[in-house]
Amino acid sequence: MTTDPEPGQSPTDPVLQVLVSERRQVISVAYRLLGSLADAEDVVQETYARWYAMTPEQQEAIDVPGAWLTKVAGRICLDLLKSARSRRERYVGEWIPEPLPGGTEWISGSSGSAPDDPAERVGLDESITMAFLVVLDSMTPAERVAFVLHDVFRYSFVDVAEIVGRTPAACRQLASSARRRLHTSRAAAGPAAQQAGIVREFKQAWEAKDIDALVGLLDPDATVIADGGGLVSTVLRPVEGSEQIARYIVALAERVPGLKVLERVVNGRPGLVAQRDGVTVTVAAFHVEGDRITHIWTVRNPDKLGPWRGAQPLS
């Protein structure tokens, strides 16, 4: 979506320049809150529509347009998160956040002041990894909004309270609860270069249909979760255990010949993309701890693969 000038607005209007510059911040917040780029784009569109629906006098009364945009977007996201619960119950199979190609350059934005406690700081690059987003999806809507806005984007709990509709003290407790959930659910990943090497070895073993090599790269308790959304065939439940996963993916390679597997950056981490006739049909994100793969998330739902048209190779 682009933010075009409204009738009577000059492209050099300082307020318009703020609106345009803040778009990246709004979509950055919305993606982390919703786990869907398509939904984040809709939030951006609705947020700007509400701005332009106001009279010039109402717009002029807003001291910080960027803060207003984030506040409105946060409230829209909170409503969407609440309604998503019922939608997920009707979703066919497992739901995985929409994967993004590349790193965080295009979806990072400015943020407020940093929290005083270093334990409450989360980098923008870390906050779009699939492992991080999956844990966010397990939080309550209020926890997720409070945690993302405060710990990731550095907004004060006073600002967060205006969005969540609770007191600053209550928002502090929400973020603290979310932080505990994150720390108990997620182990730190290894260095990116090491992850890339292990994912590359996984790709080579998969192409060679080498079950023993695959088992050696997988944690004994590894898990594969696939998301087809009922639109394409895939397993509807997690596949658990290194040997079971190895046999499953080798059988998959035999059933679906002609796939081209490419190394790509998926949500800022080394991953794999499978293409058929040049069209991306599967995106796989990995979580690597030490020298073993502990989690693989594979997205096959074509509605979630739009951003992968024209994605660039892993550098």
For residue range 19-36, list pLDDT tens digits in order. 777 888 899 999 999 999
Instruction: Provide the b/e sequence for 282-308 (b: ≥16 CB within 10 Å).
Output: bbbbbbbbeebbbbbbbbbbeebbebb
Which pTM does this prediction carry? Answer: 0.85
Cα within 13 Å of Cα(16), Cβ side: 13
- Tens-of-pLDDT digits for all 315 residues of the chain? 444 545 445 545 666 677 777 888 899 999 999 999 999 999 999 999 999 999 999 999 999 898 999 999 999 999 999 998 778 878 999 999 999 998 544 455 444 544 455 444 456 678 889 999 999 999 999 999 999 999 999 999 999 999 999 999 999 999 999 999 888 776 667 778 899 999 999 999 999 999 999 999 999 999 999 999 999 989 999 999 999 999 999 998 888 888 899 999 999 999 999 999 999 999 999 999 989 999 999 999 999 999 897 654 443
Helix, strand or coil for residue 8?
A: coil
- 194-226: pLDDT as tens digits: 999 999 999 999 999 999 999 999 999 999 999
CA distance 141 to 137: 9
Residues 6+ positions from 96 with CB-CB distance below 8 Å? 130, 134, 225, 226, 227, 297, 298, 299, 304
301, 200 contact by CB (below 8 A): no
189, 287 contact by CB (below 8 A): yes
Residues 6+ positions from 176 with CB-CB distance below 8 Å? none
Helix, strand or coil for residue 297?
A: strand
All structural domains of the chain, each given as residue ranges with its CATH number in brackets, are: 14-185 (no CATH), 192-308 (3.10.450.50)
Backbone torsions φ then ψ of 145, nearest 5 degrees:
-65, -45
Where would I find the beta strands (DSSP E) of the chain? Answer: 218-227, 239-240, 260-266, 269-276, 279-289, 292-299
